[in-house]
Structure 1
Amino acid sequence: MALLRGAGLSLKRWVGRNAERLERDYGDPAVTRIREAAQAADWAQVREGLAAHPESEDRTWLLWAVGDTAGVERWIQDAVAAEPDSALPLLVAGARWVRWGWEARTGALAKHVSREQFEVFHERLRQAETWLYRAAELEPSWLSPWHFLQVSGRGLEVGPVLARRRFEAAARRAPHHLRVHQQHLQQVCEKWGGSHEEMHSFARSSMLAAPEGSLLGQLVAIAHIEQWLRLGEGPGRQYMRREETAASLREAAERSVLHPGAERGRGWAQACNSFALAASLAGETQLARRSFEAAPDTVTEFPWQYVNSADPVLAYRRHRSSVGA
């Protein structure tokens, strides 16, 4: 779920004169404020924070921060009951129940998840869908309900046809939305019933359909990392060292994080980190160095937890050192 959330713990490590920082709240004070309001069970402040960032400004980052906050499930239903015709409390409830469902499942492989865990997982996701569909009915133009319905749908295994419809519903409302595309990329991964071919095709076609400078190029790096993980250490290393892989990463980086008109803001550091890891694994020293230097000393939980889940900063440091960045 780290890719879905992107938030991390506050941490600083010093190496020589460089301070490596695990990014907190996507580097956005608005996300920090709304997370703190959620922790304080202050619905008025949460509502105000969401209302201050309309759908056109992408509320999914704020909603994930609230959804990630333990205890929201204890008070948000009162807000839903008090405002039955308002989509905002429904969105928050849906976001929290999606995240709460995945907490019950844990990040373990399916074979290590008990039947009881799956029952709680699915029960919470079904409740989330009830609220999210109601929010979508109340606000048909909003993207956020469809973003979270992609995540709940994957957990409920709604199948490729319905999953694609949910992605398309979100994409119609925001054609080049990074997080919407990240979610569908996970859907078409082999581990969720897709294939490497479908995953790479979706990543590259999404990148090419977006304007140059769009962060959708990150999808290409993520797709290579996903296949590297799936193949395992030996075959994965061989795959990453292919010239086709390196060429694909160079093309995507130049169209996204290394483009002169690259989008900056939320998601920027994670995109740079994704290219840094993928290029490092591919032996593309120059590309890896440029990717590290594009967001200097900023570590994001994803993708480094794939290398070292206990200490993503250490994984970042080792790979950065290996390319001389």
Structure 2
Amino acid sequence: MREMPITFEGDHPMPLFRRRSGEDATQGRSGRRGLGFGRGARTAGPAAPVSAAPAPALDPAFGDDAVRVMLGQAAAGDWTALRPALAAVEDQADRTWILGALADVDGVEAWTARAVADHPDDALPLLLSGARHITWAWEARTGARAKHVTDEQWKLFHERLDTAEEQLLEVAEREPGWLAPWYFLQISARGASLDADVATCRFEAALRRVPGHAASHRQRLQQLCAKWGGSHDEMHEFARSAMLAAPEGSQLGELVALAHLERWLDLPDGEDHAYLTSPTVLAELQEAAARSVLHPDFTPARGWQAAFNAFAMAFSLADQRQTAHRLFEALDGLVTESPWHYLAGDPVANFRAHRDRCAR
């Protein structure tokens, strides 16, 4: 199917109109301006030779040197140095993003336990410990399908989630204005299979603190997926309504791309490609990109690469190579594990294969 280009008329963008199996395939560099997208963008020249493209890589710091230092401090268990650096991050969304990166560091659960004991009145080590226990719980469970998870793995999974719940709820009580505990409590609620009303309340609590928080919207989308007890209709309705409620240029357009990738993941071979290349889905992807990552008012915030990776994968799978190529170029080789982990094999290798294919 011929790619449908995006053009811009007046002040508003006008769209012209093997993977890894299903249920358990789950869970920045500082914002760079002037990406050259949207109205007034320079016309792209011929595709650069594939060999000239930077080597793709998973960078947990997203190219941010300050975050890289904090990750090193977390790996070394140096809370004395890490605490003031973390406390100095005033933006709630930024701090939550950094906490998520720190929670992925091996061994954090050991030294945060000591920090919590040594500083019982300090909510920050308790917050980091709670976030780490969620990641640590999923490490115990592994990414296997539920029927392949052992009884011992399930036991560890729920023990660690219980600890996370207790610690994060305590932080939320101590620091009622903080976003982070409510963001992470959305993830623990899904893992613990808490009632849908609980998950909804936690999502709403996060948005009361930071309206439009992109990462919380991603967690809500996962909560509404069929694989987590929701439905495809609920998922798509949420993605579209959130995008339309946000101002143009918002990152929330990525929800539409993520929802279509979730639906694609749930379809058998053959039907999946037909779905993504259908005129309806193509038009929705183009509209979502035009309202978000390709909009002239799009302002890259910390973690913007997640949205670009999602759209790049969706457009590549949908055979919209020109649009995907523009997104790959902006990423400059920075890979996010999601959604590339939905494809069989290594996310970096998957990113590279699709990027190089779209550059030809």
Provide the TM-score with structure 2 as the length reference.
0.83
Q: Which residue of 2 aligns with 1:316?
A: 351
Stretches of structure 1 lacking an aligned partner (at least 5 in a row): 7-13
Is the CA contact 2:28–2:304 (under 8 Å) kept in the aligned structure 1? no
Is the CA contact 2:137–2:157 (under 8 Å) kept in the aligned structure 1? yes
Q: Does residue 210 of structure 1 match 2:284?
A: no
Q: Which structure has the highest helix share of the two?
A: 1
Deviations, residues 200-254 of structure 1 (Å, cap 9, x unaligned): 1111111112221111111111111111111132221111111110011001101
State the alpha-carbon separation in 1 of the partners of residues 133 and 92 from structure 2. Answer: 24
Q: Does residue 182 of structure 1 match 2:205?
A: no
5 Å-filtered alignment, 1:1-325, equals 15-24=50-59, 25-56=61-92, 58-310=94-346, 312-324=347-359
Q: Which has the higher contact order (CA 8 A, sep 6+)?
A: 2
State the alpha-carbon separation in 2 of the partners of residues 69 and 315 from structure 1. Answer: 24
Q: Counterpart amino acid of 1:313?
A: V
Residues 2 and 15 of structure 1, relative CA distance in 2, 3 Å threshold: farther
How much has 1:194 moved relative to structure 2? 0.6
The DSSP-based 3-state class of the residue aligned with 1:16 is helix
How much has 1:322 moved relative to structure 2? 3.1
How much has 1:23 moved relative to structure 2? 3.8
Q: Counterpart amino acid of 2:309?
A: N
State the alpha-carbon separation in 2 of the partners of residues 123 and 274 from structure 1. Answer: 32
State the alpha-carbon separation in 2 of the partners of residues 195 and 22 from structure 1. Answer: 34
Residues 299 and 187 of structure 1, relative CA distance in 2, 3 Å threshold: same
State the alpha-carbon separation in 1 of the partners of residues 214 and 327 from structure 2. Answer: 18
State the alpha-carbon separation in 2 of the partners of residues 309 and 303 from structure 1. Answer: 12
Q: Counterpart amino acid of 2:248?
A: E
Stretches of structure 2 lacking an aligned partner (at least 5 in a row): 1-23, 30-48
Q: Which deviates more from structure 2 when the two are superposed, residues 16-25 or residues 293-302? A: 293-302
Is the CA contact 1:218–1:252 (under 8 Å) kept in the aligned structure 2? yes
Residues 296 and 43 of structure 1, relative CA distance in 2, 3 Å threshold: closer
The DSSP-based 3-state class of the residue aligned with 2:295 is coil
Deviations, residues 161-203 of structure 1 (Å, cap 9, x unaligned): 1111111111111111111111111111111001111111111
The DSSP-based 3-state class of the residue aligned with 1:274 is helix
Residues 263 and 294 of structure 1, relative CA distance in 2, 3 Å threshold: same
Deviations, residues 38-60 of structure 1 (Å, cap 9, x unaligned): 11111112211210102435211
State the alpha-carbon separation in 2 of the partners of residues 5 and 199 from structure 1. Answer: 26
Q: Counterpart amino acid of 2:306?
A: Q
State the alpha-carbon separation in 2 of the partners of residues 105 and 160 from structure 1. Answer: 22
How much has 1:4 moved relative to structure 2? 5.2
Residues 4 and 179 of structure 1, relative CA distance in 2, 3 Å threshold: farther
Larger Rg: 2
Considering only aligned residues, what root-mean-square deviation do their CA atoms show, in Å? 2.0
Is the CA contact 2:161–2:188 (under 8 Å) kept in the aligned structure 1? yes
Counting matched residue pairs gives 317
Q: Counterpart amino acid of 1:106?
A: T
Q: Which residue of 2 aligns with 1:11?
A: none
Is the CA contact 1:86–1:138 (under 8 Å) kept in the aligned structure 2? no
The sequence identity of aligned pairs, in percent, is 51
State the alpha-carbon separation in 1 of the partners of residues 318 and 77 from structure 2. Answer: 46
State the alpha-carbon separation in 2 of the partners of residues 137 and 88 from structure 1. Answer: 13
State the alpha-carbon separation in 2 of the partners of residues 119 and 84 from structure 1. Answer: 27
State the alpha-carbon separation in 2 of the partners of residues 2 and 89 from structure 1. Answer: 29
How much has 1:300 moved relative to structure 2? 2.4
Is the CA contact 1:28–1:266 (under 8 Å) kept in the aligned structure 2? no
Deviations, residues 10-54 of structure 1 (Å, cap 9, x unaligned): xxxx94222122141222222211111011111112211210102
Residues 304 and 291 of structure 1, relative CA distance in 2, 3 Å threshold: same
How much has 1:5 moved relative to structure 2? 11
Q: Counterpart amino acid of 1:200?
A: H
Q: Counterpart amino acid of 1:315?
A: N
Q: Counterpart amino acid of 1:184?
A: R
